[in-house]
């Protein structure tokens, strides 16, 4: 599969890692909210285990992305996950969004835009 010259496989890996970070956080949250109050029930259920496995994939994708993308760029763009996690938690787990979260998200996006200039 060929991509436009300005999109590398490393950039796609970083994008996938950022999105999967949010997915894994939401899966861990959903697993923790599951039935049962015991620690074993919270840690060893399907949603939590999928969240852990997704984090493993995130680590591998990030390592691949960092082969060509500088660390400062990877770190800056990983901040997007702090915006995606509350949005996905709102959509899938019905967690509330508050004003502080929204202000923080706007500040993160503003910082990434400034970094990119």
Residues 6 or more apart from 62 whose CB is under 8 A from it?
13, 14, 17, 74, 78
Q: 2 falls in which pLDDT band (50, 70, 90)?
A: low
Per-residue pLDDT tens over the stretch 65-100: 999 888 888 988 888 998 999 999 899 888 888 899
Per-residue pLDDT tens over the stretch 91-100: 988 888 889 9
* Domain residue limits, the chain: 9-116
What one-character DSSP code corresponds to residue 95? -
Q: Is the pTM of this model over 0.85?
A: no
Cα–Cα distance measured from residue 109 to residue 33, given in angstroms and rounded to the nearest whole number: 29
């Amino acid at each position: 599969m060929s991509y436009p010259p300005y999109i590398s496989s490393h950039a796609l890996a970083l994008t996938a890692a950022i999105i999967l970070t949010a997915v894994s956080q939401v899966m861990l949250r959903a697993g923790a909210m599951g039935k049962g109050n015991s620690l074993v029930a919270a840690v060893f259920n399907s949603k939590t285990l999928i969240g852990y496995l997704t984090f493993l994939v995130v680590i591998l994708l990030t390592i691949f992305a960092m082969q060509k993308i500088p660390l400062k760029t990877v770190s800056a763009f990983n901040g997007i996950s702090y915006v995606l996690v509350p949005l996905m938690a709102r959509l899938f787990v019905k967690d509330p969004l508050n004003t502080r979260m929204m202000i923080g998200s706007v500040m993160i996006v503003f910082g990434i835009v400034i970094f990119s200039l």
